[in-house]
């Protein structure tokens, strides 16, 4: 039963049970669901998550509905939250399961270039950037109201399926706070949402360092004229002459049989080697064959013929 057009009050536990039953039906249909879970009362703990929530609270446009949104996100009413380029979609448990759509305008190119230029040379790595380990000047520049990375109310368009007439209802506020909690886990989603590439912050710093290091190395390259002027020397020009004639080098000795005698010691020993080979040939000549035990016949006189 409703009173003056308002739905009757439903306890939080009962609202969540009803919403979870509806989500279970969506899961069976193949829809992915990513609920926002808050441990304790702290919605965001990291630099990017807390900076997102602080940006929401600085605008008077949202001050009336923001407190109810904190209550909803803490008690687990944000049952699904999806972040994409220029868009946030969510399902929040209220009297019913409400669908939220939040459009975020992308960062303009000139504005993003100004942020990269102001932060150039101060961010050493992507890990340092995503973990929020930045110098105070960089943090202030990124979070600066109006021309920083976080959106202003004029860049946000809100929509919820609930009957509340306000642009920012408590369900939308809960979804926006859920973004802060989600950035604790995945800070790169902020750059995805704003349509910029976080690597450009690192690339700008690396480009400046490269240009700085390239200049001294080029200055160290001096030609002969610069050397002469520096030390007061007269550099003689190299004379152009014909190349020297090529001389044949002696081939290295190789231990082979039958080679030519080249050393003095071998030439001196050459006659003795020849005599030795001659004696060896004479001694090794053929000998007459005689029977064993035979006596040598005396020589017979030649017959004398008479006239």
Give the separation between CA 272 and CA 259, rounded to whole angstroms.
18
Coil, helix or strand at residue 253: coil
The number of beta carbons lying within 10 Å of the beta carbon of residue 178 is 30
Give the separation between CA 60 and CA 168, rounded to whole angstroms.
12
> For 71-95, what is the mean pLDDT?
92
Q: How confident is the model at residue 139 (pLDDT cuts 50, 70, 90)?
A: very high
> For 2-25, what is the mean pLDDT?
70
Residue, of 23 and 153, whose pLDDT is higher: 153
Q: How confident is the model at residue 1 (pLDDT cuts 50, 70, 90)?
A: very low
Provide the pairing of β-strand 78-84 with 156-160: unpaired
Lowest mean pLDDT among 73-82, 153-162, 217-226, 236-245: 217-226
Q: How confident is the model at residue 278 (pLDDT cuts 50, 70, 90)?
A: very low
Residue, of 67 and 88, whose pLDDT is higher: 88
Q: How confident is the model at residue 90 (pLDDT cuts 50, 70, 90)?
A: very high
- Mark out the alpha helices in the chain (DSSP H runs): 12-28, 47-57, 66-74, 109-119, 126-130, 136-142, 170-185, 188-194, 199-219, 224-231, 264-268, 270-283
Q: What is the mean pLDDT of the chain?
A: 75
Give the pLDDT of residue 232: 46
> For 176-191, what is the mean pLDDT?
96
Give the pLDDT of residue 173: 94
Residue 125 in tokens: 């790595």
For 154-166, how does the pLDDT look when each residue is reduced to its tens digit (9 = 90+)? 999 999 999 888 7
Give the separation between CA 303 and CA 198, rounded to whole angstroms.
138
Is the torsion defined by CA of 37, 42, 46, 47 positive or negative?
positive
> For 24-51, what is the mean pLDDT?
88
Give the pLDDT of residue 196: 95
Residue, of 188 and 208, whose pLDDT is higher: 188
Give the pLDDT of residue 287: 52
Give the pLDDT of residue 99: 94
pTM score: 0.62
Q: Three-class SS string for 185-239?
A: HCCHHHHHHHCCCCHHHHHHHHHHHHHHHHHHHHHCCCCHHHHHHHHCCCCCCCC
CB 65 within 8 A of CB 170: yes
CB 79 within 8 A of CB 92: yes
Give the pLDDT of residue 262: 53
> For 286-305, what is the mean pLDDT?
54
Count how many Cα atoms sit within 13 Å of the Cα of residue 9 in the half-sphere of its side chain: 2
Q: How confident is the model at residue 253 (pLDDT cuts 50, 70, 90)?
A: low
Q: Residue 188 pLDDT more than 80?
A: yes
Q: Which of 66-75, 142-151, 202-211, 240-249 has the highest mean pLDDT?
A: 142-151
Among candidates 88, 91, 92, which has minimal Cα distance to 101?
88
Give the separation between CA 119 and CA 204, rounded to whole angstroms.
8
> For 18-39, what is the mean pLDDT?
83
Residue 284 in tokens: 């090794």
> For 38-56, what is the mean pLDDT?
92
């Amino acid at each position: 039963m409703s009173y003056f057009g308002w739905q009757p009050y439903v306890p939080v536990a009962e609202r969540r049970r009803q919403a979870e039953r509806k989500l279970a039906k969506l899961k069976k249909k193949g829809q992915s669901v990513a609920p926002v879970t808050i441990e304790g009362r702290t919605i965001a703990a990291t630099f990017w998550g807390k900076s997102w929530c602080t940006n929401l609270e600085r605008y008077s446009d949202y001050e009336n509905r923001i407190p109810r949104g904190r209550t909803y996100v803490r008690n687990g009413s944000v049952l699904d939250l999806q972040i994409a380029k220029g868009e946030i979609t969510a399902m929040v448990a209220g009297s019913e399961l409400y669908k939220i759509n939040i459009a975020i305008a992308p960062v303009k190119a000139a504005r993003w270039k100004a942020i990269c230029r102001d932060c150039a040379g101060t961010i050493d790595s992507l890990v340092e950037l995503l973990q929020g380990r930045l110098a105070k000047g960089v943090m202030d520049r990124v979070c600066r109201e109006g021309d920083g990375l976080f959106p202003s109310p004029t860049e946000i368009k809100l929509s919820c399926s609930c009957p509340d007439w306000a642009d920012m209802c408590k369900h939308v506020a809960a979804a926006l706070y859920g973004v802060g909690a989600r950035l604790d886990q995945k800070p790169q989603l902020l750059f995805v949402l704003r349509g910029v590439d976080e690597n450009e912050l690192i690339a700008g710093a690396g480009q400046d360092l490269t240009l700085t290091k390239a200049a001294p190395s080029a200055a160290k390259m001096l030609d002969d004229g610069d050397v002469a002027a520096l030390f007061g020397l007269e550099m003689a020009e190299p004379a152009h002459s014909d190349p020297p004639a090529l001389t044949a080098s002696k081939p290295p000795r190789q231990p082979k049989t039958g080679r030519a005698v080249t050393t003095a010691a071998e030439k001196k020993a050459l006659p003795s080697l020849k005599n030795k080979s001659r004696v060896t040939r004479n001694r090794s000549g053929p000998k007459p064959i005689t029977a064993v035990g035979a006596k040598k016949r005396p020589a017979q006189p030649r017959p004398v013929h008479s006239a």
